[in-house]
Structures are given as C-alpha cells and as structure tokens.
A and B are shown apart, each in its own frame.
Chain A
Amino acid sequence: MRDRWTDFTLRAPGSRFAGHALLAFVIWILLARLNMIIDAQMSYYLALAAMYATAMFGMTILVGLSGQVSLGNGALMAVGGYVFALTSMHWKTVPILGLPWNAVWSMVFAGLGGIIIGLIIGALGARLRGPYLAGLTLGVAVGIPSIINRYPSLLGGEQGLKLIVPYPEGGYPEQVLSEDAQFDDSALDEFLVDESAVVQAPLEEAAPAEGDLLTLEDAQQGVAQEDLLTLEDAQQGVAQEDLLTLEDAQQGVQDMPTDAPISEATPELATDPSDAFTTASDFVLQQWQASVAIAVACIVGFLALNLVRGRQGRVWQAVRDDPVAAAVIGISPSGGKISAFVVSSMFAALSGAVFAQILTLAAPSAFGLGLSLSLLVGVVLGGRLSLIGAVIGALLIVWLPEWVDSLSAELGMPRQVADNAPNLLYGLLVVAVVLVAPRGIMGGVSGLMSKMRRSSAPPSSG
C-alpha cells in the first residue's frame, strides 16, 4: 500500500535492525551531548520532550497504526510512575532474582506493569469499535485518580508519593512518603482546579526545583547536587503559590555552571547508580533527569522503529484497514489490536516512570485526563502515522506553551488568558489537523516531499 514499507523488505535480513540501532545510537549520542551544553532549564524541557516522545511512540502505534483512539495512556503512565515509585521505595533487592536493587529494575518492572494493564484493557478493547473504546478509555482516564485515592496508605492519596531521583552516587539516600512530609499542596490544588491546563501543570511541579536553585546563590561554585537535594526545607519552603516568573527562574538557572565536563553520560550510568561516578557534583538535577529520559526515549524509539517498519507494523495496519481481509490471510484481528495495546501500554508505563522522576513525584493529579488529552493532541498534531510525527508532537507539547507564554508576556495578555491560550490553540489545531491534514505535520511534510520527488525524478524511478 505504501511503498516505504516494501523498500525495507528487500534488504538483507538484519541490516534494517542494525540500521535502526545505529540511528537510535547516533540520536542518543547527539541528545546526550546536547544535554551537556544547554542550561538546566533547557535540560528540563529536553527531559519533558523525551518523556512525551516515549509515550507518543506508543500513541502512534495505538492510535495511528492500529486505529484505536485511546485516552487511557495517561492512566497507563500512572501505572509506570507508581510502579517505579513503589519499587524504588520498598525494594532493597529484586524479588526472586535476589539481585541488589537499582533504578533499572524499577524501570523494568514499570514496563512489566504496563504490559499487564495493557493486556487487560487491550483484551477488553479489542472487541470494541472506535467510540466505545474511546469512551471506555476515557473512563479509565477520569477514574484513575479515584482508583489511586482508593489506597491512600499504599499510594499516598492526593499528595502522591514523593520520589527522590536515583542519583549516580549512593542511589536513593532516603525515601519519604509525602503524607508525613509536608509537601506544600497549594500548587497541587491549583493543578487540580485547572486540570485543563494540560502542559503547564508539570511546570508548576518543577517550580520548587528551580526555586531551589534560585535561593542558593552560592550554588555557583558548583555545590554538590546531593547538597541541593538534602535541602528539603528549601524545596518546600520556596513559595510554590507565587510561582516565579519564568524569566526569574531562567536567570537563576543560568547562574548555575553549565559547562559540566561530563565525559561519559552513558546509559550504563543512568541505569547503574552503584557505578562510581565521581563527577556527579557537576551534574545538575535536570541534566540527570534529561539523560535518563533521553536514554529511555532512544531505547523505546528503537523498539518502535523495528516494530513499525517490520511485519508487526503491517499487521497493525491490515487490522485497522480491513479486519475481515486480515483474518482471511491468517492475521488475528483481535491479536493485532491487543498487541498494539500492549506495546503502547508498555511505552506509556516507561514514560510514566520517567515522568515520575522528572516531577520527583507520583501523584494522581499529574496523570489525569489532561495528560491523556495532551498525548492525543501531540500525536495528532505531529502526525498519527509517523514516529517522527510523535517526536514533533512531543516538542510541540513542551515548547508551544513556552512560546505562547513569551508571546503573551510581550502582548501584555492577562494571566488568565495566557495560561489557557496553549490549550485553546491545541484544541483548535487538533480540529484543524483532522479537517485539513489528517496525517498531521509529518503527513504534510512527507506529502510535500513526495510531490517534490515526483516533479524532480523521472517517473520510472518513483
């Protein structure tokens, strides 16, 4: 149907796999390097973008390739976030295997949790047509805070579980249940009320970390990050209600040393906290979070590339386009739908685990309907059928609010308008994309490119 699929099947077996591995590796190296040269604020955005991209790879497979519109992926991210938080808080060793625990195991178990939940929802959803599935997953998205609040002693209720990001040196120093820690929930309240502010929410969550940097003027001398972390009081004390304006935060962040001479920001480091990591003190928290997010996004992107461009990708499309015909040639339609759900759910859970590390918190309000909607928005805007579209969608979700914010500051728009302008824009853009360019930005780009190719190349080669 689409010749770019067949292009790949003609090559030698394994070359595609190697090509994807190389591509993912190169992108990872470039992003890791980029993470070292940008300031902490940008690293934070990079971390968010990588986290969103991870989840959106799953959305591309689920919504785009297999044609199942799901609003449950935010809830599936919650599964990943909570599994990560719980396992990293309570486990000293890995069950059954008996190996010493580290953050990678938490990621693995987060992914497993995603697979299990994906199997359940996918099995239920495989029988359903479009609107029924959308409605069911909407119920999951709306119901997830209630489910989390159902077990306050285990999951921390509204306040969530406060998480200390695993650091290269020493791993988890201490775990604090935020129920007893007086986590200032004013930001969270604001968050709950303004659930529609899809993207601005994570920013508010991150405010303490930035404020933290601000208060520590002498952090310029490269104060060890562990010290920053132990300043819990500062973190909680810094007013969350009067959110620092972005300019202030950025200024404060720029005061931080940015030329961190990290030579080996390999995923082994991200994955093995016990590894001796002597230069940790030069590492800004946001950079650490970004390097984890990038590593996960690249691994997930690599998996997604292989699935999408391989046989499985064609299976998903066949089931989407004509389940009867797919069944005739021996493809199980429900199997195809369920496998799409499982894969996308695993990706969502991994992304959720990264999100929890970025927020240093797993709380129901972070994984609400707004998050699911923003995933849908991103994947639709970027292009439902393309993994690059997912990346573009992730970038849009992260940077469009910033862009609107600076624009509205220039125009002197009132706060109330400026805060909601990004979401209004998202809503209108989604409608516009569905009406005008159903394949999103990437669809438009690839359409343009094929038009150019057709006009420049002789017809025989096309």
Chain B
Amino acid sequence: MGSFLDYFLGGIANGAVIALMALALVLVWRSTRVVNFAQVGQAMFTSFIALTAVNITGSWLIGLIVGIIAGGILGFIVHVLVMRPVRRADASGAIIATFGVLIALQSLAAMIWTAEPRAYPTPIEYAGLTIFGRVVPLTGYDVFVFIVMIVLVLFLTILLTKTKLGLSMRASAFNPEVARLSGVRVSRMLAIGWIIAGMVGAVAGVLIAPISSLSPNTFDIFLVFAFTAAVIGGLDSLVGAVAFGIGTGLILSLVTGYSDASNAPIVALILLALNLWFKPDGAFSHHKARSV
C-alpha cells in the first residue's frame, strides 16, 4: 500500500499520454467535426514504424522523428483517401469509416509485425527517482513524458493562436463558408489539421508504447481513456483535453493504486457516462446541443 502522493505521482505520465491522445482527437474534431476512432490505430501503426527505426539505428530520438513524420503522412492519407470523400455521406458513415480504418490498420500491423506484444525502449531509465532519500513511483521517464507534453501543448497553442496558419485553421473549423470567402484554402487547412493530429498521436503512441508495450491492440484502452478526457473537456478545447487528460490519468492511477488495475476501464466508463448524462455535449462545449 503506497501513499496518496505516490499514486498521484504515478498517474502523471499516464495522464500526460492520455492528454496527448485526447489532443489528437480534439485537433481532428476541431478541423473536421469527426471523432477519429482510428487515432489509436494510427498511433499504434506509427509506433511500430518508429520501433523499426529504433531497431535499425539504435537511436530513440530517430525513432521519435520517424514516428512523427509517419504519423503526419498517415494522417494525411487517412484524411484524403477516407475522411474527405466521406464527409458528405450520412453522419453514421463517418463514424463507421473511422472504425473501418482502425480494423484495417490493426490487422495490417498484425500482418507486418505479428500480434505479439513488444517492448519499446525508453530514452531515460524507467526507474523510480529518489527524492529526499526516498524512492518514489515517479520515474525519470514519467517526468520526461510530462515535459514533452507541456512543450507540445505550448507549441500547438502558439501555432493555433499566434500564427497566420493557426488563424486560417481556426477560421476553417469555425465557419468554412466564411473562411473560404475570405480566401482561406479550407480543404488544405482541414488536411493540415489531420496531419498535425496524426503527428501528435504519433508522439503519444511512442510515449505510450514503453508503458503499455506495443501490439496491435494494446492501445485500444487508451482510445477509451482519451475519448473520455476529450469529451469531458468538451472535444473543442485543447486546454480542456490536456486538463482532463491529466485528470483522467490521475484518477485512474488512484483507482489502480487503491483497488485494482482492472477497475480503471470501469471507472473511465462511469466518468464518461456521468459526464454525458449531465452534459450530453461535453463539459466545456461552446455550442449548445440541439435538443427536442
């Protein structure tokens, strides 16, 4: 039995990767109003590519870079080949298509890399740090993951709020018609949204892989966690996704610590259900749901 603080610290890395995955979901939702259920599939696939690069070069950093590039490319491919053509179809079609992509990516990964779980290396030793002469469950890797997440969030915030590209992206998401009339190339902005989301998802995947091991299916549960966080955060809000991603990670860590790891998905489900019961459109959503 550890202390509250121990569990709390242990949840930070989990929270950070959930936050990153939730960020990817939010980025896609903001640009195309689609929840990309294939996001974890993309992240898993690019993590396998990154692992291959790591095995060849022996460098974790090169693996990360290869993963990010692959993530961007994969995001672009999924957007152009699947989601852009499907957008005019019925609302269910888009959701179903993302699951089709998820199934295809998972089976393709199993085909290429087998379904066996693999270990993914870490850049920093995965061992508890010693603070005030006491070993705490916070590892150097956890701190690293958290720092990477903070840097990424800052980068994304600056990109979306301080640059012309970010302004165009927000305009395309907010009101495509007006944006198009103002000379914004909306379709390109949507594609860029998918590419950035794919890159963020790839970073999340590479960071999750050492924690959960890498196989075609091990990321599934993170889809549920990230979706929970993104929905509670309102699906629209980067800050919400990050805050509730970390929050979800901490809660799940406490649940795991005080009861059992197998309770984590149940608690996530209860969180999601409660949130949707009281706020069918997410906690911080700006748009009022049409209700009848």
Contacts and interface: CB of A to CB of B under 8 A. Distances in A.
Interface centre among B94, B105, B115 (most CB of A within 10 A): B115
Contacts of A140: 269
A452 B289 CA distance: 43
Interface centre among A63, A135, A333, A426 (most CB of B within 10 A): A135
B276 interface: yes
A63 B85 CA distance: 21
A132 B280 contact: yes
A146 B103 contact: no
A225 interface: no
Contacts of A195: 217, 220
A142 B220 CA distance: 8
A170 interface: no
Interface string A54-71: 000000000100010101
Nearest to A413: B111
Given A131-B95, A136-B276, A139-B228, A438 B90 contact: yes
Interface centre among B92, B94, B103, B104 (most CB of A within 10 A): B103
B93 A438 contact: yes
A127 B277 contact: yes
Interface of B, secondary structure class, is helix
B107 A430 contact: no
Contacts of B276: 124, 127-128, 132, 136
Nearest to A64: B92
Contacts of B111: 416-417, 420-421, 424
B177 interface: no
A106 to B, nearest CB: 26
Contacts of A154: none
A147 interface: yes
A129 B273 CA distance: 14
Given A134-B35, A431-B100, A423 B106 contact: yes
Interface in B248-292: 262-266, 268-269, 272-273, 276-277, 280-281, 289-290, 292
B272 A135 contact: yes
B262 A430 contact: no
Contact of A150 (B90, B100, B110, B262): B262
Interface residues of B, number: 57
A438 B100 CA distance: 13
Contacts of B262: 146, 149-150
Nearest to B85: A435
Contacts of B37: 134-135, 138
A136 B265 CA distance: 12
A131 B280 CA distance: 11
A248 to B, nearest CB: 24
Contact of B110 (A132, A139, A419): A419
A428 to B, nearest CB: 5
B263 A427 contact: no
B92 A420 contact: no
Contacts of A147: 266
Interface in A106-153: 124, 127-132, 134-136, 138-140, 142-143, 146-147, 149-150
Given A128-B280, A136-B273, A421-B111, A430 B266 contact: no
Interface centre among B82, B102, B110 (most CB of A within 10 A): B110
B124 interface: no
B196 interface: no
A231 interface: no
Contact of B101 (A197, A327, A431): A431
A359 interface: no
B231 interface: yes
A67 B96 CA distance: 11
A329 B42 CA distance: 44
B143 interface: no
Contacts of B91: 67, 129-130
Contacts of B224: 135, 138-139, 142-143
Interface size class of chain A, counting residues whose CB lies under 8 Å from the partner chain: 35 or more
Given A130-B92, A196-B216, A435 B99 contact: no
B115 A373 contact: no
B215 interface: yes
A130 to B, nearest CB: 5
A324 B292 CA distance: 6
Interface in B32-64: 34-35, 37
A194 B110 contact: yes
B101 A129 contact: no
B16 interface: no
Interface in A370-422: 373, 376-377, 380, 384, 416-417, 419-422
A194 B109 CA distance: 11
B227 A139 contact: yes
Given A142-B265, A434-B86, A427 B104 contact: yes
A138 B273 CA distance: 12
Nearest to B271: A139
B89 A434 contact: yes
B105 A427 contact: yes
Given A195-B217, A327-B292, A139 B269 contact: yes
B221 interface: yes
B103 A426 contact: yes
Contacts of A327: 292
B103 A434 contact: no
A1 interface: no
A369 interface: yes
A423 B217 CA distance: 13
Contacts of B86: 434-435
13 contacts: A67-B92, A128-B276, A132-B231, A139-B228, A193-B117, A196-B103, A196-B106, A373-B102, A417-B111, A419-B110, A421-B111, A426-B103, A427-B102
Given A63-B92, A69-B96, A71-B99, 14 more contacts: A132-B231, A134-B95, A136-B276, A146-B266, A150-B266, A323-B292, A380-B100, A420-B115, A423-B104, A424-B103, A424-B108, A426-B107, A427-B101, A435-B86
The list of the 7 closest CB pairs from A to B, nearest first, reads A427-B104, A430-B100, A423-B107, A427-B103, A131-B35, A143-B265, A431-B100
